Amino acid sequence: MRIVLLGPPGSGKGTQAALLKDRLGVPHISTGDLLRAAVRDGTPLGIKAKAAMDAGELVSDELMLGLIEERMGAPDVKAGYLLDGYPRNLAQARALDELLDRLALPVDKALALTVDEEQIVHRLAKRAEQEGRSDDTEEVVRNRLAVYREQTAPVTGYYAEKQLLQEVDGMGSIEEINQRLTTALG
């Protein structure tokens, strides 16, 4: 199965992907996790990406395309994928389609988690307490939500036009949402 997981920051994409990947037997590819690892390791990509991430802005499309091309070309992706955090704007959505056509690994389904904004701010404030991620401060979270509304929300329309989109209610317990996603995957 080749799945793109969409939804605002804090909607539970990473949380749910970690639960689904074993059941589906496909790798979970999170661009956020790949970027945080690059920052931690001090790679040239990490050094360039850090300022944008800390401000809650998107890292440049050019850097992201290089990262995703490298990851999607790895042998484990032949089994399928659960892509989390990419694409985050329309240019990335188009670039991803081109890449996946080239690899003959097109998207089967785009699942979009819907969560209200108050709940997002609450979840990320809690994660800030627990994990101390530099982009979970209230000010940066508000900016991430604004970036989401302006740049990422249109991506759901892109997949709707292709008849690949399915929206899933992302409110409730982690287990409830996991059940809904499993049902949506059929």
Interface with ligand B4P by CB under 6 A: which residues? 9-15, 31-32, 35, 52-53, 56, 58-59, 64, 85-86, 88, 92, 123-124, 127, 135, 144, 173-174, 177
CB 64 → ligand B4P: shortest distance, Å?
4
Cα 128 from Cα 57, distance rounded (Å): 18
Query: Is 180 in the active site?
Result: no
Task: For tokens 């949506």, name the residue.
Answer: 184
CB 12 → ligand B4P: shortest distance, Å?
3
- Pick the closer one to ligand B4P by CB: 60 or 103: 60
CB 1 → ligand B4P: shortest distance, Å?
19
- Pick the closer one to ligand B4P by CB: 12 or 165: 12
- Per DSSP bridges, beta strands 81-84 and 109-114 are unpaired
Give the active site residue among 102, 126, 127, 149: 127
Query: Is 144 in the active site?
Result: yes
- Pick the closer one to ligand B4P by CB: 110 or 163: 110
Query: Is 78 in the active site?
Result: no
- What angle do the packed helices 31-41 and 61-72 form, to 10 degrees? 100
CB 13 → ligand B4P: shortest distance, Å?
4
Residue with smallest beta-carbon separation from ligand B4P: 32
- What region does 172 belong to: left with phi over 0, alpha with psi -120 to 50, or beta? left
Residues marked active site are found at 13, 88, 127, 133, 144
